[in-house]
Structure formats: C-alpha cells, structure tokens
Amino acid sequence: MSTLTMSSTPPASQNRRRRPAREVVLGVDTHRDAHVGAVLSVTGAVLAADEFPATAAGYRDLLK
C-alpha cells in the first residue's frame, strides 16, 4: 500500500510573479521649468536619465 502526502503550501516558484526580462520603471521629477526623467531596471539600477524642458516639445521628447 502506498501513501500520498500533500502539502497545503505550493512550491515557492509558483508563488512568485515572473517579470518580463525587459521590464523597466520610469520616474519623473517635475519642476516648474524642467523635468528630469530616469529609467530604472527592476533591480533599481539607473539605465538612463535626462532633463527635459517643461514645454510641449519637452513632453514629446520625454515620451520618445
């Protein structure tokens, strides 16, 4: 006779949400005359940062 043991807790690998390898976060520090945008990896490494004027053209450049 064999016995089957079941755990009520799923394995750790099933509990974690897998993030896409290229997922990044964009943060924008807004000011009256200019905004500073920074792109971070999910681990917090700064991948890029730049300053943009707080104008319609600057907003377009920030989105590019």
In a domain, 14, yes or no: no
pTM: 0.59
Residue that is written with structure tokens 């319609």 in the block: 56
Express each pLDDT in 10-64 by its tens digit: 555 555 666 666 899 999 999 999 999 999 998 999 999 999 999 999 999 998 8
In a domain, 7, yes or no: no
Q: Which domain holds residue 45?
A: 23-63
In a domain, 5, yes or no: no
Beta strand spans in 1-64 (E): 24-30, 34-41, 46-53
Q: What's the domain count of the chain? A: 1
Q: 3-state DSSP call for residue 12?
A: helix
Express each pLDDT in 42-51 by its tens digit: 899 999 999 9
In a domain, 32, yes or no: yes
In a domain, 13, yes or no: no
Amino acid code (one letter) for 29: D
